[in-house]
Structure 1
Amino acid sequence: MAEPSRIRTQTSGANTVVRVLMAHEMESGQRKDAAGKLLPAWHITEVTALLNGKPVLRAQWGPGVSRNPLLRFTLKGARSGDKLSVSWTDNRGATRTDEATVA
Structure 2
Amino acid sequence: MASALIYMPATAKPGEVIEVRALIAHTMETGFRPGPDGKPLPRDIIRKFECRYNGKTVISAELHPAMSANPYIAFFLKATTSGALEFTWTGDNAFAQTEQKQLVVQP
Q: Report if TM-score (shorter chain) is over 0.5.
A: yes
1:46 maps to 48
Match of 2:94? 93
- Give the % identical residues: 32
* Aligned 1:32-71 pairs, distance under 5 A: 32-71=34-73
Query: 1:35 is aligned with what amino acid?
Result: D
SS at match of 1:62: coil
Which secondary structure state, in structure 2, belongs to the residue aligned with residue 40 of structure 1? coil
Alpha-carbon distance, 1:102 to partner: 2.7
Secondary structure in 1 matching 2:87: strand
Question: Which residue does 1:29 correspond to in 2?
Answer: 31
- Residues 44-73 of structure 1 show CA distances to partners (whole Å, capped at 9, x for unaligned) of 111110011111111111111111111111
Any idea what SS the aligned residue of 1:102 has? Answer: strand
Find the structure with the greater CA-based Rg: 2
State the SS of the aligned residue for 2:37: coil
List, as ranges, runs of 4+ consecutive aligned residues in structure 1 with deviation greater than 6 Å: none
Residues in 1 aligned to 2:84 and 2:79: alpha-carbon distance in whole angstroms: 13
Give the structure-2-normalised TM-score: 0.82
Corresponding residue SS for 1:34: coil
Q: Please report the RMSD computed on the Cα atoms of aligned residues, expressed in angstroms.
A: 1.9
Structure 2: distance between partners of 1:89 and 1:95: 4
Unaligned 5+ residue runs, structure 2?
none
More deviation in 5-14 or 90-99? 5-14
**Equivalents in 2 of 1:6, 1:102: separation in Å?**
16
Contiguous gaps of at least 5 residues in structure 1: none
When the two structures are aligned, how many residues end up with a matched partner? 101
